[in-house]
Chains A and B, each alone.
Chain A
């Protein structure tokens, strides 16, 4: 697109003006805080701020709102690591290895690594934004119903495949998630499904309520069962900075997954949850020690963290390049900047280049600020682990209920929250993987609607699979991701048979 470097530089200079620096810092800090609290996501925080932005300079308002958004990406994984309670969909993957790391006494290192991974992922995405915004926006348009449907199938298959050795449990978990996602009004026909006469349920069950229920409430209930057991030795929080070895293991995963997250973030509707889950399963599949994943492998934390932050930056491309919101949060931001008199659309880059570039540079500055903030907070945050359970768990419960209320402003959600708390407890006791369920709830409804829309355009499932080069690639990737665990196990066996002494 022939970006004029002068405009980019001017944008940078505007972004580091004291006023804008203040908004970056304020937004980043607020985002980190709301990201940490279960349920209080960036979309809610920004929506509540909209009245305050009335009368603000549109550029500053956009900088502030974006800082909250990617700030929440940093914050979201804090509670994933420390409490096994993700603050948002995109922080779920951080629980897989982040929480085991904290349990092994590496909480400080996990927090530091996640901040560093987020920074690098974010920076890769900002560079990607500057160079590739227009072509990527056009690529995203190629995704029609068939492509989205298969992308979601691929994501689900990658998650189920993670549960190696327990694939059946993974499938059951996913199936339950898909069933939950059918609750609500069916878009294609307008029929109400499983709403039990409650108008609140007509919009479906919010996946964040499911996340808070299963993780936060479920975790508290689980600990309640074991609360009378004598506490082991005091958990060490470990060093506050990563080791050379950890950096060596994470370096490439971080660099690889930044671009992956970025591209997925650009697709409207895909977002951080899909990006981080795909990155996690991708790293596990190509890893030399996949057995360490889930037990506190540092690269299993670094990869999704890099990816979800890159996705948050990527989500701004369709919004700024075409006026199409790429995620729930950018939809709220889009509404807010329209109120401020800005006209987001294909002409925004041409009509307001100074604003667009100031904004992009603010993301660059903001990521630097956030990594400093988050590393400075490590010492404070690890103290959460020292909090006695009888104080910590009631606090988590309270936050869970408040977060839930802010999602739908309805007490119906409290009942759903408690139900899923027990679902989470039983899944934990019976050792069912929860990620397939959660992801199925997140993508299930979109997946179904896209499937049905693609059946209008294509005669049957073969037609959908061969609709475009993208769909063919997605089908192949799905087959590989489901078959890979078996294939690698088989290869490993053969290798073992041949060189039984050398292999580990």
Chain B
């Protein structure tokens, strides 16, 4: 019973810790002057949480940030809950973000977009693959697209975890260049990348789109084959897989993750993070993390990120309109 109480007391302390925050604005030069809160807009265990915790660990071990950093989990609404939370905080809070920040808004599921925040950095990217079963009638991506052009509903395409995400939209964009009627595509939406993989291995879908990090091991083991990837060059791990570009589709589609700050940060505060994160991405620990997860370095500082997000917003706006998702 003592142990139970111990765990209980600990959890209670954690809750108290998570709830308390004050709203003092830090405009002085000695930023940061208190504990930094790092919001992972997801439950522990996922990619966002893992990224946040890895950054926390590296910042501490490499002594890049003097103040302590705490990771706070705010899952829900594809990031929406976490970003809502961040939008009301001061400069001592940061959050992980991804293209969902843009697409949630464009799909009408959120009022917030990147302009409501201070973009701090872009960190990593993954590339997206299209895969078919080994016994598929489609030899390559072109054959698959030709079939879709003839009959858009004839191919069952597995994706996860929702329409309007990168896996979905990158496929839509590729199909569009081939002249496929993308509003008639037949998507089966699974809950997770693992489910998509299972259904492709079991032949329950005819094609699937997922992150390269999820699909490459199966491709190497010849359990199914990847027919196209969204990177601009072939990848070292799967050198036999052609890019979309090589197959005549002008498509480079990153699945990026970055860091977002609350609105109204001062120049000094932004510079502080530019320096700190710039140092972090150079560390060996960071490089090892990228290597293990199959992520690619995609570092951009605050200014570059802002420009990048602008570009991305334009692209997503166009795509979502054409995919028939916006009603």
B7 pairs with A37, CB closer than 8 A? yes
Q: Is the CB of A409 within 8 A of B75?
A: yes
Please state if A199 and B220 are interface contacts (CB–CB under 8 Å): no
B194 & A324 in contact (Cβ 8 Å cutoff): yes
Inter-chain contact A335/B1, CB cutoff 8 Å: no
Query: Is B75 touching A345 in the complex (CB atoms < 8 A)?
Result: no
- The reply to whether B201 and A322 form a contact with Cβ atoms under 8 Å apart is yes
A324 CA to B215 CA, complexed, in Å: 11
Query: Which residues A112-166 have CB closer than 8 A to chain B?
Result: 140-145
B45 touches A331 (CB 8 A): yes
Q: Is A97 an interface residue (CB 8 A)?
A: no
Q: Does A446 contact B (CB under 8 A)?
A: yes
Give which listed residue, A341, A347, A446, A456, contacts B191 with CB less than 8 A: A446
CA distance A47 to B75 in the complex (A): 14
Contact with B along A299-339 (1 / 0, CB 8 A): 00000000000000000001000111100000110111011
Q: Cβ of B53 and Cβ of A33 under 8 Å apart?
A: no
Q: Which residues of chain B are within 8 angstroms of A192 by Cβ–Cβ distance? A: 109
| A198 nearest CB across to chain B (Å) | 8
Task: Judge whether B4 and A37 touch: CB under 8 Å.
Answer: yes
With a 10 A CB-CB cut-off, give which of B12, B57, B189, B291 has the most chain A CB atoms.
B189
Given A408-B76, A456-B186, CB of A338 within 8 Å of CB of B293: yes
How many residues of chain B get a CB closer than 8 Å to chain A's CBs? 66
Contact of A202 among B4, B78, B192, B198 (CB under 8 A): B78
B188 with A335: CB separation less than 8 A: no
Inter-chain contacts of B78 with A (CB < 8 A): 202
Min CB–CB distance B30 → chain A (angstroms) = 28
Given the interface contacts A43-B45, A323-B218, A339-B289, does A51 sit within 8 Å of B53 by beta carbon? yes
Chain A: interface residue total (CB-CB under 8 A)? 67
Residues from 405 to 419 in A contacting B, C-beta threshold 8 Å: 405-406, 408-410
Contacting residues, chain B, for A410 (C-beta < 8 A)? 74-76, 81
A477 close to B (CB within 8 Å): no
A346 within 8 A of B: yes
**In the complex, which residues of chain B have a beta carbon less than 8 angstroms from the beta carbon of A323?**
197, 217-218
**Which B residues are in CB contact (< 8 Å) with A190?**
107, 162-164, 325
- The stretch that binds B, out of A18-26, A181-189, A216-224, is A181-189
Give chain A residues whose Cβ lies under 8 Å from the Cβ of B44. Answer: 44, 47-48, 50, 332
Given the complex of chains A and B, what is the CA–CA distance between A380 and B203 in angstroms? 52
Which residues of the partner chain B approach A40 to less than 8 Å between Cβ atoms?
A: 7, 11
Contacts of A324 in B (CB 8 A): 194, 197-198, 201
Contact of B195 with A by CB under 8 A: yes
Chain A residues, CB < 8 A from B72: 409
**B265 on the A face (CB < 8 A):** no
Instruction: Give Cα distance in the complex from A300 to B227, angstroms.
Output: 51
Please determine whether A54 and B54 come into contact, CB atoms closer than 8 angstroms: yes
Interface string of B1-14 (1 = CB under 8 A from A): 10110011001100
Q: Does A287 contact B (CB under 8 A)?
A: no
Q: Does A258 touch B at the CB level, under 8 Å?
A: no
In the complex, the chain A residue whose C-beta lies closest to that of B71 is A51
> Which residues of B are found within 8 Å of A43, using beta-carbon distances?
45
**B281 within 8 Å of A (CB atoms):** no
With an 8 A cutoff between CB atoms, is B239 at the interface?
no
Q: Give CA–CA (A456, B53) in the complex, Å.
A: 40
Interface residues of B in 213-241 (CB under 8 A from A): 213, 217-218, 220-221, 223
CA distance A405 to B217 in the complex (A): 36
Within 8 Å CB of A406, what residues of B?
A: 11
CB-based nearest B residue for A200: B76
Q: Do B204 and A457 touch (CB < 8 A)?
A: yes
Specify which chain A residues have a CB less than 8 angstroms from the CB of B201 in the assembled complex: 141, 322, 324
**CA distance in complex: A449, B292 (Å):** 33
Residue on B nearest A335 in the bound complex, by CB: B45
Name the residue of chain A whose CB is nearest to the CB of B168.
Answer: A190
Instruction: Assess whether A110 is interfacial by the CB under 8 Å rule.
Output: no
Whether A409 and B18, one on each chain, are in contact in the complex, defined by CB atoms closer than 8 angstroms, is yes
Q: Which residues of A contact B190 (CB under 8 A)?
A: 187, 449
Please pick, from A144, A189, A409, the residue contacting B199 in the complex, using a CB distance under 8 A: A144
Query: Residues 170-208 of chain B: 1 if any A CB is under 8 Å from the residue's CB, otherwise 0?
Result: 000000000000000011111110110111011110000
Given the complex, which residues of B lie within 8 Å of A322, measured CB to CB? 197-198, 201, 218, 223
Q: Contact between B156 and A199 (Cβ–Cβ < 8 Å)?
A: no
Cβ-defined contact, B53 with A341, below 8 A:
no
For the A-B complex with A50-B45, A142-B202 known, give 6 more contacts whose Cβ atoms are closer than 8 Å: A187-B189, A323-B217, A325-B194, A340-B292, A345-B218, A399-B4
- Using CB atoms and an 8 Å cutoff, list the residues of chain B in contact with chain A: 1, 3-4, 7-8, 11-12, 15, 18, 43-47, 49-50, 53-54, 56-57, 72-78, 80-81, 84, 107, 109-110, 156, 161-164, 186-192, 194-195, 197-199, 201-204, 213, 217-218, 220-221, 223, 288-289, 291-293, 325
- What are the 5 A-B residue pairs with the smallest beta carbon separation, nearest first? A345-B217, A199-B77, A47-B44, A144-B204, A141-B202
Pull 11 A–B residue pairs with CB atoms less than 8 Å apart, ordered by A. Answer: A48-B44, A54-B57, A268-B194, A324-B194, A335-B50, A339-B292, A402-B8, A405-B15, A410-B76, A453-B188, A456-B188
Give the interface of A toward B (CB within 8 A).
Answer: 33-34, 36-37, 40, 43-44, 46-48, 50-51, 54, 140-145, 185, 187-190, 192, 199-203, 268-269, 318, 322-325, 331-332, 334-336, 338-341, 343-347, 380, 383-384, 398-399, 402, 405-406, 408-410, 446, 449, 453, 456-457
